[in-house]
Amino acid sequence: MDSVALVAGLLLPWIVGMAALAAVPRGARALDAPGEIAWIAGAGYLTGAFLLTLWMRVLSLSGIGFGAVTVGAPLALAAAVLGAIAWRREGVTARAAVRDALRALVAPPGQGRGARLAWRLLLGWLALRFVLLGLEVAWRPLFPWDAWIQWAGKARVWYELGRIAPFAAADEWFAAGGALYLDAAPGNPPTMPLLQAWTCIALGRWDDTMMNWPWWQIAAALALAVYGAMRSLGTTALGALVAAFLVASLPLANVHVALAGSADLPLAAYYTCAVLAFLRWVATRDPREAGLMALLAFACTQIRSPGVAWALTLVPGVIVAIAPRRGVRWCATGLGAALFLLAVLAQSHPVILGRPLHLDFEPTWSALGESYFLLGSWNLLWYGAIAATLLAWRQLLSPALAPVSAIVATAAVFLFVLIGFPGARAWLADQTTVNRATLHVAALVVVFAALAFREFALGWTRTHAAPGS
């Protein structure tokens, strides 16, 4: 019975999120469009998981204790109603779309024999990777130190109390004579501890191993969302699967699944999917995608403190999408002004409201180069990203790439601040280390490289096509 209850609890966010996305009146994309089912499944889990934690916060504010019934029953009812609405509107289409999506797993349409063989090998490799990661999650107790001191303490307290209780820093804890709850990061948002607490509530007991299954689910949802979004943006089935595979095989991301408990991988997933929803909106101007982008961007701010900065990196992309001609110039001017301000702060010692704003420029280029290009944390990600950027440099400001180029450029500036100005980390990223901050944007870099390479390939084909062909 424990296993059944656990599976039901883990499936609830999938069902709620997928029903919510499917029930919203569809705009430019039909349910049977390429990649749509995968997108709804991947983005649906992230949506459902976030909505579940918001509901738990509402219960806590209302004085209603957490329980399988109080948390799960209203969400299950909502999912049933939303699912019925979606099925009534698209029942026949839904059946056909799911059937076609399952068939495409075995043999995607429009692919030659070699491409189909590559498809099956990649799909099998991807499935094996997730099976092995699932075994790691199921067998390994909570391990990472940050997971213990920043997140799991909240989950345990909230599970036992059945509500959200505030945590305090050490000085406040001492001042209160130990009457408050204490951990190393009391200001962290509550989303991930609430997901852990919900898993244990569904299981019926505290278990610091099983409570980490959401990390595996988030990794699977990210892979599905990347595949679905890439297909909907015009990438071939094999190209989209390659992008999903590259995202799912990032070594440091896999470490954050196997050694679950930190919030960096969840932030990376929500941030990447927010950008993907934005790109789908750029392609169709569907208000549904804009709403999903806003929800996922807001979720970023509720996972880790750096999520605020990452969510703000979407703003230049939106500006470029709304005003294509002037937006690029505005964003370039803004980024240039930001870099100029950093240079001024590095060369002066201003004090505002008693707070010194001087920043020491202390980049650790050698260590960063080793991490990005020589060690095993990223595979060949940065080589591939640089190569794709150089190949597609003429298309980077084209209508297809300019919005995502603006977002990636802004994210790169943010990373540069973290790398080059250690004193700024306390302002911007809550002391996030550089490699973990890089994880937040790594999946987006894979998406950008895939889109850039596709634009290069399309441009090459148009340029070198035989006359009259």
Please indicate, yes or no, if residue 271 is contained in any of the structural domains.
no
For residues 279-289, one letter each, b for 16 or more C-beta atoms within 10 angstroms of the residue's C-beta and e for the rest, the string is: bbbbbeebebb
Q: Looking at the structure, do residues 150 and 225 belong to the same domain, yes or no? A: yes
The model's pTM is: 0.94
Structural domain including 220 reads: 2-262
Q: Looking at the structure, do residues 134 and 234 belong to the same domain, yes or no? A: yes
Task: Please give the pLDDT value at position 122.
Answer: 92
| 92 CB neighbour count, 10 Å cutoff | 8
Q: Looking at the structure, do residues 247 and 365 belong to the same domain, yes or no? A: no
Please indicate, yes or no, if residue 290 is contained in any of the structural domains.
no
Q: Looking at the structure, do residues 145 and 200 belong to the same domain, yes or no? A: yes
Please indicate, yes or no, if residue 192 is contained in any of the structural domains.
yes
- How many domains would you assign to the chain? 2
Please indicate, yes or no, if residue 227 is contained in any of the structural domains.
yes
Q: Looking at the structure, do residues 328 and 232 belong to the same domain, yes or no? A: no
Q: Looking at the structure, do residues 311 and 258 belong to the same domain, yes or no? A: no
Q: What number of CA atoms fall less than 13 Å from residue 40's CA on the CB side?
A: 26
Cβ atoms of residues 20 and 51 within 8 Å: yes
Task: Please give the pLDDT value at position 458.
Answer: 86
Nearby residues of 141 by Cβ (< 8 Å), 6 or more positions away: 208, 209
- Under the phi-then-psi rule, with left for phi > 0, alpha for psi from -120 to 50, and beta for the rest, what region is 66? beta
Q: Looking at the structure, do residues 22 and 136 belong to the same domain, yes or no? A: yes
- Parts of the chain with a pLDDT under 70: 1, 26-28, 91-94, 106-107, 109-111, 353-355, 423-432, 464-469
DSSP state of 130: H
Q: Looking at the structure, do residues 318 and 253 belong to the same domain, yes or no? A: no
Q: Looking at the structure, do residues 453 and 333 belong to the same domain, yes or no? A: yes
Please indicate, yes or no, if residue 8 is contained in any of the structural domains.
yes
Residue 161 has φ and ψ, to the nearest 5°, of -80, -25
Q: Looking at the structure, do residues 161 and 225 belong to the same domain, yes or no? A: yes
Q: Give the chain's end-to-end CA distance (angstroms, integer).
A: 64
Please indicate, yes or no, if residue 319 is contained in any of the structural domains.
yes
Please provide the average confidence, as pLDDT, over all residues in the chain: 89
Nearby residues of 364 by Cβ (< 8 Å), 6 or more positions away: 419, 434
Cβ atoms of residues 121 and 241 within 8 Å: no
Please indicate, yes or no, if residue 36 is contained in any of the structural domains.
yes
Q: Looking at the structure, do residues 379 and 254 belong to the same domain, yes or no? A: no
- Under the phi-then-psi rule, with left for phi > 0, alpha for psi from -120 to 50, and beta for the rest, what region is 162? left
Please indicate, yes or no, if residue 67 is contained in any of the structural domains.
yes
Task: Please give the pLDDT value at position 469.
Answer: 46
Structure tokens at 144: 């990472």
SS3 302: coil
Task: Please give the pLDDT value at position 385.
Answer: 94
Q: Looking at the structure, do residues 33 and 114 belong to the same domain, yes or no? A: yes
pLDDT digits (tens, 9 = 90+) for 243-289: 999 999 999 999 999 999 999 999 999 999 999 999 999 999 999 99
